[in-house]
A and B are shown apart, each in its own frame.
Chain A
């Protein structure tokens, strides 16, 4: 029975993928680090107990971090955290908890100290604090032998080192991109789900501005997953940065922008949260077959490290690895939240 289902799904399990056979044995320094994360989280939540829905806020950001870590997982390995600490391949809930605690502390601090700064400026204050902090944290987890990078990442990092500080600009870019997507995801969903902010309904959207915001969101993300997937076999003139092509990026931008625009137009009476679900689902159902076609025709080639993490299960009808199909809504949840956050912030600027 099971075998016939496997045959129907064209499923050939990969038992010893590199992504799931790294060293998970807990070491003493890492154990202390995990205890520190646990204590820091308890202290933060204890301090914020008086704040309304603080646990929900924290959990929302945690979800954002987990989503991000899950589909960028093939970019690195997180070792020595102990078996209990992993959720999916190298994605660790302990590290995600630490990242959430750090990010949420900064967001809470900035919101408390400068409550009157407009949201569009405050966003950059968050990044200003988090960028250097995260740089040192990242170095720390590397020194603890927790984090290491897959060869594709190292190749990109080594080939683009900035002079003087000898750090790749991609590595430096990763940090603000990571926080930009996580914070926008958290803030937008907190606006519409927890704080129930009174957001201005828009009848005539600023099309150019919204397309630019969408482009920024998609482009930042393309830079982020640069080592994960190669966009190949497209006309050479269409590449405007490494393997980022105007065809693919432009296509995603148009689909995302148009879906948001049309759902807002026809479902403006629905709540912001349900519309958010609608954006993500609609764009997923449109982009998944396109992604499948691109993969089958070698326009998108997944790197070795990403491919080694694939289970072998193919998504029926589309005939592409199931992990790719599941990554699409994860990716969209962050990018769409980023786009919507900036739309809302700029539309409600006054």
Chain B
């Protein structure tokens, strides 16, 4: 059931990224044909659509890349979600937080002892 749900979410997301590209094309059309866009003859009329178009293109390319390729810079097989815990611990240590405080914070976020332990072991091995 969980696998099916994950598949559905990923499919919708993939469709959404493809949709962004479609949006971009539609937006160009809208700019070209809509006399109202940019308030008619305004000199800056094309600025907003161009910014939006650049955003669309970047969002589609970078977003698709980031979501559907392996993300980690940590070269270990971690349990689901533990990479986020590793990053949090790393940053918390850099901010000078004590280990006990970090553990309390993570537990308040719903992480169990095994996840936290796994994350600390990963950090000690990697960094």
Q: B40-97: which residues lie under 8 A (CB-CB) from chain A?
A: 40-45, 47-48, 59, 62-63, 66-67, 71-72, 80-81, 83-85, 87-88, 91-92, 95
Is the CB of A31 closer than 8 A to any CB of chain B? no
B106 contacts A270, CB within 8 Å? no
- The 9 listed contacts between A and B (C-beta, < 8 Å) are A21-B40, A86-B42, A87-B39, A88-B38, A199-B88, A268-B80, A270-B66, A274-B63, A313-B33
B residues less than 8 Å from A87 (CB atoms): 38-39, 42, 44-45, 47-48
A6 contacts B33, CB within 8 Å? yes
Could you tell me the distance in whole angstroms from the C-beta of B64 to the nearest C-beta in chain A? 10
Is the CB of A15 closer than 8 A to any CB of chain B? yes
CA distance A282 to B12 in the complex (A): 6
B residues less than 8 Å from A315 (CB atoms): 26
A residues less than 8 Å from B1 (CB atoms): none
B30 contacts A284, CB within 8 Å? no
Given A83-B39, A311-B36, decide whether A66 and B29 contact each other with a Cβ distance below 8 A. no
Q: B1-46: which residues lie under 8 A (CB-CB) from chain A?
A: 5-6, 9-10, 12-13, 15-17, 19-20, 23, 26-27, 29-30, 33-45
Considering only CB atoms and an 8 Å cut-off, how many residues of chain A contact the other chain? 58
B residues less than 8 Å from A24 (CB atoms): 39
B33 contacts A203, CB within 8 Å? no
Is the CB of A17 closer than 8 A to any CB of chain B? yes
A13 contacts B34, CB within 8 Å? yes
Of the listed residues B48, B83, B112, the one surrounded by the most CB atoms of chain A closer than 10 A to its CB is B48
CA distance A203 to B5 in the complex (A): 17
CA distance A15 to B9 in the complex (A): 42
Given A88-B37, A204-B110, decide whether A282 and B16 contact each other with a Cβ distance below 8 A. yes
Q: A281-338: which residues lie under 8 A (CB-CB) from chain B?
A: 281-282, 284-286, 309, 311, 313, 315-316, 322, 325-326, 329
